[in-house]
Amino acid sequence: MYNPKSMKADEFISDEEIRETLSYAEKNKDNIELIDSIIEKAKLRKGLNHREASVLLACENQEKLDEVYALAEQIKKDFYGNRIVIFAPLYLSNYCVNGCVYCPYHAKNKHIPRKKLTQDEVRDEVIALQDMGHKRLAIEAGEDPVNNPIEYILESINTIYSVKHKNGSIRRVNVNIAATTVENYKKLHEAGIGTYILFQETYNKKSYEELHPTGPKHNYKYHTEAMDRAMQGGIDDVGLGVLFGLESYKYEFTALLMHAEHLEAVYGVGPHTISVPRIKKADDIDPDAFDNGIDDDTFAKIAACIRIAVPYTGMIVSTRENASCRERLLHLGISQISGGSKTSVGGYFNPMPEKEDSAQFDVSDRRPLDEVIKWLIQLGYLPSFCTACYGSGRTGDRFMEVCKNQQIHNFCHPNAILTLKEYLEDYASEETKKLGYDLIAKEVETLEADNIKKTVKEDLVKIECGGRDYKF
């Protein structure tokens, strides 16, 4: 029985409810009157439920889809402005005991070289990332209680935060590791993590168990209820996602929104982020072996419908996708992207030869971070390395209150300007500097509050003189 307030995975992610929703959406995909009413509701910026959003996803009327895409772009601007937050993944270890059939880290893969970073190597990777300009990381590790125990993750987080190289510092560490206990989530919270990220991969229980035949990840219930344990452990911000291509995208879309509704219903705060990865080629993994792959047009439709259904959430697209796909999604609601990413263990400080590579998946957008920053500026976006909300305790329901009231521009916009200035001063190429300085001059004048504008101008001068980490 479907119950968004239930703490049981098979009740807040109800297969019956999903299938009824998909049937309803299919029956109404040409119901223009209903579609118009849903779009009108979406314009209120309060979001849509999973059934309403599924109707829009099923819609094939191009005129109506164009309305959805335009609304998605506007909603992103209303909540997040023209800012695009920048981050990078940091792979700590590819040791893993699970048998996930879509991931090259699976325990039976004997081709891939196994590697686990020492703390000295973690330090080297962080320095390399700081020298690129990064301030925000997402750490990744396979599930292995012997090689990657929680103590190792905690020690690595401490190391990352401790590294201060030149003007560099990592100010927010997000964590993407396997489902764990409330006690371990408490430890992660105490270690000062930002967002806890865990992709569901697929919400279809039967498919989930088939795709995870061995290892602790086989337990659908334990995995699906992980976000509840994380929030019970004190973690304010959690990030959802599915791996599109494993199961029917309509099924996954509906279930993903139901998970967001569950978190909102129980904790009063939905997901801080939603990621939209697609399955990609990797060692021992052929994406063509999965028959639920989605084309770029469908992918774009999914992103737009998520944005208007969950207007407050940050939306992430990684370097799995190529530049043209990422550019398209930027116009449909994406608010965070990775840049200059390496998906192998130790890939930043000492990249492996391709034949020895330990990458989790092929990177499609291989541009250096500076090129990504220049590209964003040329597209009219404001690249942001901001972590001020985390640093100021503006997380969880406190962040959401600001975001849902569309007041984020009073904090995040000036912080984005200041962190871009830091990047330009410390790391940018001359061409990127020129473009960036012009953008900053323009963006400062868009600040509405005179006191904020005055302070930003003062802080920009301080940054030129060597000051760092000013925030609102």
Asked whether residue 397 is assigned to any structural domain, the reply reads no
Residue 287: what pLDDT? 53
Asked whether residue 392 is assigned to any structural domain, the reply reads no
Q: How many domains does the chain have?
A: 1
132: CB partners within 8 A, 6+ apart: 88, 340, 348, 368, 369, 370, 427
Averaged over 290-311, what is the pLDDT? 90
Of residues 420 and 322, the one with the higher pLDDT is: 420
Residue 359: pLDDT over 60: no
Dihedral in degrees, nearest 10, Cα atoms 460, 464, 470, 472: 10
Dihedral in degrees, nearest 10, Cα atoms 48, 53, 56, 58: -170
- Any idea which of 129-138, 351-360, 421-430, 457-466 has the lowest mean pLDDT? 351-360
Residue 355: pLDDT over 50: no
Residue 357: pLDDT over 70: no
Mean pLDDT, the chain, rounded, equals: 92
Residue 363: pLDDT over 70: no
Residue 387: what pLDDT? 84
For 222-274, the pLDDT digits (tens) are 999 999 999 999 999 999 999 998 899 999 999 999 999 999 999 999 999 99
DSSP, collapsed to helix, strand or coil, labels residue 272 as coil
CATH of the domain at 242: 3.20.20.70
Closest CA relative to residue 54, chosen from 313, 308, 244, 227: 308
Share of residues in the chain with pLDDT > 70 (%): 95
Residue 280: what pLDDT? 59
For 19-66, the pLDDT digits (tens) are 999 999 999 999 999 999 999 999 999 999 999 999 999 999 999 999
Q: Where are the beta strands (DSSP E) in 234-281?
A: 237-241, 273-275
Residue 281: what pLDDT? 46
Length in residues, the chain = 472
Residue 362: what pLDDT? 54
Averaged over 383-404, what is the pLDDT? 80
CA dist 247 and 255 (Å) reads 11
Asked whether residue 215 is assigned to any structural domain, the reply reads yes
- Look up tokens 């904020």; give the residue: 452
288 band by pLDDT with thresholds 50, 70 and 90: low
Averaged over 406-412, what is the pLDDT? 79
Averaged over 370-379, what is the pLDDT? 97
- Tell me the CA distances in angstroms from 373 to 178, 320, 337, 414, one per residue in order: 31, 17, 11, 18
For 303-326, the pLDDT digits (tens) are 999 999 999 999 999 888 989 999
Quote the domain boundaries for residue 253: 77-384
Residue 111: what pLDDT? 79
Residue 408: what pLDDT? 74
Asked whether residue 250 is assigned to any structural domain, the reply reads yes
Asked whether residue 433 is assigned to any structural domain, the reply reads no
For 1-22, the pLDDT digits (tens) are 899 999 999 999 999 999 999 9
For 105-162, the pLDDT digits (tens) are 877 787 788 999 999 999 999 999 999 999 999 999 999 999 999 999 999 999 999 9
Asked whether residue 43 is assigned to any structural domain, the reply reads no
- Any idea which of 150-154, 232-236, 338-342, 405-409 has the lowest mean pLDDT? 405-409
**pTM value > 0.95:** no
Asked whether residue 390 is assigned to any structural domain, the reply reads no
Question: CA angle, corner 252, sides to 251 and 253, nearest 5?
Answer: 95
Residue 407: what pLDDT? 78
Residue 290: pLDDT over 70: no
Residue 284: what pLDDT? 47
Asked whether residue 19 is assigned to any structural domain, the reply reads no
Residue 352: what pLDDT? 61
